[in-house]
Structure 1
Amino acid sequence: MKIFVGLISLIAVLLVALAGPLYKFDVIDLATAFAGFKFGLFAGIAALVLLAIQLLFKRNTASIGSALISAVLAITAIAIPLSMMNTAKNVPPIHDISTDLVNPPAFVAIAPLRADAPNPAAYDGIETAEQQRIGYPDLQTLRYDQTQPELIAATTQAIENLGWELVNIDTDKGIVEATDTTAWFGFKDDVVVRVTDNENERLVDIRSKSRIGGSDLGKNAARIHGFIKELDNVLAK
């Protein structure tokens, strides 16, 4: 039974862990990847139940090492999907985040790259803006004293530091565009940064949007927060 429990635990964690890479490299589609999450969760629960039965009724067939390894694998397979489900419940079910909800920065060079994406380049609209106001009230237009060229240069450096793919730099229009590819699933999310003059200060707005998916599990808001922190670090040097 020790081998059987260990095998179920291993299968459970593989179903969860490999869902992302298999989708990323076009081996399976997204629906199948998410199905892997579900079955991995169920397999992890089953493994824990079997492990409990083994420890209660067939203790002589178990060892501390094998039981510990099986438990860790099963708990991991359960914890990852449950964590994602919990995150989904606690963030707005949106995937288009902007610091300017009235006039969000528009994608220019990136727009053609999103032509076949399930989520269009256009802003998602009033309903999304209202949900963002509730979920991420801290995301607002930034104000800086630096010149527009300085901020464009700092934005470019921050994007490079974050490892995003630079797509477009237009100093005259005050626009920088980039694409961030997530590590696990390989999702491509696009970012546009807009720098505009406002008398004695410059206004910086950032927009991040997923190409696929309904809820982004808070990823785009986190990306904007990360960019702001990196931009401030660059400007402080």
Structure 2
Amino acid sequence: MNSYKLAKYNIKSSLKSIIIFYCIFIAVLFITINSTGISISGIEFSSMIFLFVMGLNFFKENFYFSQANNIPRTDYFKSLVITILPIALGMSIIDVTLNRIYNIFGVGPTMYDMAYGDFPRFYDYADAWIQNNSIQTLVGTVIFLFAFYILAFAIGLLITMIFYKCNKTMKILIFLSPIAIQAIWGSVIYNFPEFGEKPGNFIDNILGISTRNSYICAITFIFLFIIIMCFVYIIIRRVVVKKA
């Protein structure tokens, strides 16, 4: 079984959960459409969370299956990349389509509309907003979501692989490290406000927020995806199958 066959198997095994997710997703949209005075925005954020959770649950069973079938680890890694790309692209297109349908009945801007489009920065003017359906906007939204989704999956995958490889003590330290980092950084910013300006400007530049250039953000997300998958590959080469 080569990487393409394994990727095909992974996609087929993921379809059920994706279908269930979109059934719930569409039901929520339908309820919202039929509820007076209720509007939602950034609904594709739920897809990002879904793919993040999918990444968290993707490794162990999938890895055991590949090792039981004597699939080379390099082929297994390739299958992970091949699996997420069409899933993320397909979900990006579906989310944009559902969003456009929703906006026929109400106001529901995407994250792209709010960050890089012409959605009013002040919600007082949101009711008068008309969603841009130009080819440039549609393509830009799909590319932005695609990059966003593959990054979410990669982060979830890396986290679960790190936890799989570490002992209980290391798992606790890793779990607590974001809290400690946030507390330390918050203290530094509070006492030395000037230190917060450069990181803020750097983040603004690599995400293209001020210039409203979503392609810069997409490139950044794809670059981060590649870096994370490099770490994933390193772990795959060294991780061992644990006995139950």
| Same-fold status (TM-score > 0.5) | no
State the TM-score, normalizing by the size of structure 2.
Answer: 0.26
Higher relative contact order (CA 8 A, sep 6+): 2
From the two aligned structures, give the one with the greater strand fraction: 1
From the two aligned structures, give the one with the greater helix fraction: 2
